[in-house]
Structure 1
Amino acid sequence: MTTSTTTTIPRRGSAPRTPAIGRDEAMALAAAEYERGAELLQGLEPGQWSAPTVNTGWDVRATAGHVLGMMEMMSSVPQMVGQTLAAQRAARRRKAPTSLDELTALQVRRNAGLGTGELVAKWRAVASKAVRGRRRLPALLRRRAMPELQLIGGQLEPWTFGYLADVILTRDPFMHRLDICAATGLPPHVTAEHDGRIVDDIVHEWADRHGRPYRLELAGPAGGTWGTGEGEPIRLDALDFCRVLSGRGTATGLLTTAVAF
């Protein structure tokens, strides 16, 4: 999950966001994304682990440590409870509006002592457990709103646990995989079947969030065309579209509508 320190403006009266992807498809995307992350890290040269990323203060090594920590959090109930409570305590001490920054910092610290080979091996070992933990989230809990609001585009909004488990926890490693590729100059592994499905879900959420007519043309294997009504067409690469909506690029017009990652 991408961290943010933007000034908050509480959003009132909005329903908790729910997943638009079915659970079976969501878990297939999760497993594939974890595997692509492992393949990317496995192929890094020693010097590439220290390359700085767009995430302030994080190099490639720290970024991977965060994603691994999030996978560990979903791998078991003790991990989930322990990380969540530790982050919430730290957020209360700092009087932060959300505990996300504290959670991600905790994950980076906990995995900082691993060698790069150990990190990749641990990633592969925990990936299936993380997918299983996400899949086993009870239906009653999936429909419930998370107790803590989430900061997106400068506003606090509610999410269901299902939206977190099925959507965000796949978008997060997807985006950080792109961050690592950008930092190291490596080309990302992109296919229509996997990345294109993630992008399609992001496009529809973006359209739902801004609620205005649009025409969108995204290039690349993950791209396509979308639209409702008339309007000046927006044309860019599919992965750049995701980066912009996540706050990683210059946004104008409808592209200023943030989407959760």
Structure 2
Amino acid sequence: MTISIGVDAMVQQASDIPALSHAEAGKLSQTEYEQVLALLETLDGSDWQQPTYCTEWNVRDMVAHLAGAVTGSTSRAEFLRQNVKHPYVKEAANGIDGTNRLQLEERLTKTPDELIAEFRQNGQVAVNNRQKLPWLVRQLPVPGVGNFGYLMDIIYPRDQWMHRYDICAATGKKMVVTREHDGRLIDLVLLDIAKKLVKQLASRNIVLRLTGALSSDYQFGNKHTPGCTLEIDFFDFNLRASERISVAEALRRTAVTGDEAAAKWFLTNATVLY
């Protein structure tokens, strides 16, 4: 459903965003793999030492994680080794932290060229393997995530997308963005947020206006007239939704019209797994 706000604008009801099919997930994963690889191949010199929004990682660390993550999808045994049987199961704050630590430690001696080569080779294998997963396997539960299909189809390409932006922001590289690919990935972020907030919205009605690289308006809540409108840059919103920046910082980057308390509530709660 779309509704009009003002004279010219149209706003998409976030909860009505179409769900992702497994076939479409394969196309998004393939495109994101190619985009990340193209970016990595432009890195040189001091790019690798630049700090990122993931404050414990520089660009090299982030690429090591990206390489390790795709290698984790090259076989069932490697996935289990990285994600279930790693040596930090008991001491890591959560499973993801332990997996990330393992990926970085195992690549400490690799050169940048070797990291790119690993991502190039195993990234394509990962895309292919994820598409071949049987339906029943994709229904298997993953604690803290959902099911295996959600992890493979939505979280993995979303994680690559966000790290692509992290690297671009850190190095000053241009982020290649298209409505068809990047817009669809972020629509799925907003659909997840709508699902998360549906029971919490109560009588709130909020319009999120994304500007910049891709501009779109989204509605959260069912009342016709919004209680507040938040206008924020496309990338800044994803920085907040992934919890890379605080609520206070997000508010500084947001123009709010209407109920400021509702805007703060939304930015506090509109976070999902990346």
Q: Which runs of 5+ in 1 are unaligned?
A: 1-18, 151-157
What's the offset of the Cα at 1:133?
1.4
Q: Quick one: which amino acid aligns to residue 88 of structure 2?
A: A
Deviates more, 1:226-235 or 1:238-247: 226-235
In structure 2, the partner of 1:80 is 79
TM-score in terms of structure 1 length:
0.83
SS of the equivalent of 1:236 reads strand
- In the alignment, structure 1 residue 223 sits paired with structure 2 residue 215: yes
Q: Does 1:27 align with 2:26?
A: yes
Whether the aligned pair in 1 keeps the contact of 2:83 and 2:96 (CA below 8 Å) is no
**Cα deviation, residue 189, structure 1:** 1.1
Equivalent positions of 1:104-123 (< 5 A) are 104-123=100-119
Which residue in the other structure is 1:187 paired with? Answer: 174
Alignment map for 1:100-179 (pairs within 5 Å): 100-146=96-142, 149-150=143-144, 158-179=145-166
Alpha-carbon distance in 1 for matches of 2:132, 2:108: 29
Structure 1 residue 70 displacement after superposition = 0.7
Relative to structure 1, the CA distance from residue 219 to residue 100 in structure 2 (aligned partners, 3 Å threshold; closer, same or farther) is: same
**From 205, 228, 234, the counterpart of 2:192:** 205
Structure 2 unaligned regions, length at least 5: 1-17, 248-263
Within 2, Cα distance between the matches of 1:166 and 1:253?
A: 29
Please state how far the C-alpha of 1:111 moved relative to its aligned partner: 2.2
Between 1 and 2, higher relative CO (CA 8 Å, sep ≥ 6) is seen in 1
CA spacing shift, 1:97–1:50, aligned 2, 3 Å:
closer
Q: For residue 20 of structure 1, give the secondary structure of its aligned residue in structure 2.
A: coil
Larger Rg: 2
How many angstroms does 1:29 deviate by? 0.8
**What is the letter of the counterpart of residue 191 of structure 2?**
H
RMSD: 1.7
Report how far residue 168 of structure 1 moved: 0.4
> Is contact 1:196-1:221 (8 Å) kept?
no
TM-score norm. by structure 2 comes to 0.80
Letter in 2 for 1:164: L
Q: Secondary structure at the match of 2:84?
A: helix
Q: Paired residue for 1:12?
A: none
Q: Deviations over 1:152-211 (max 9, x none)?
A: xxxxxx511111010000111111111111111222111111110011111111122112
How many residues are matched? 231
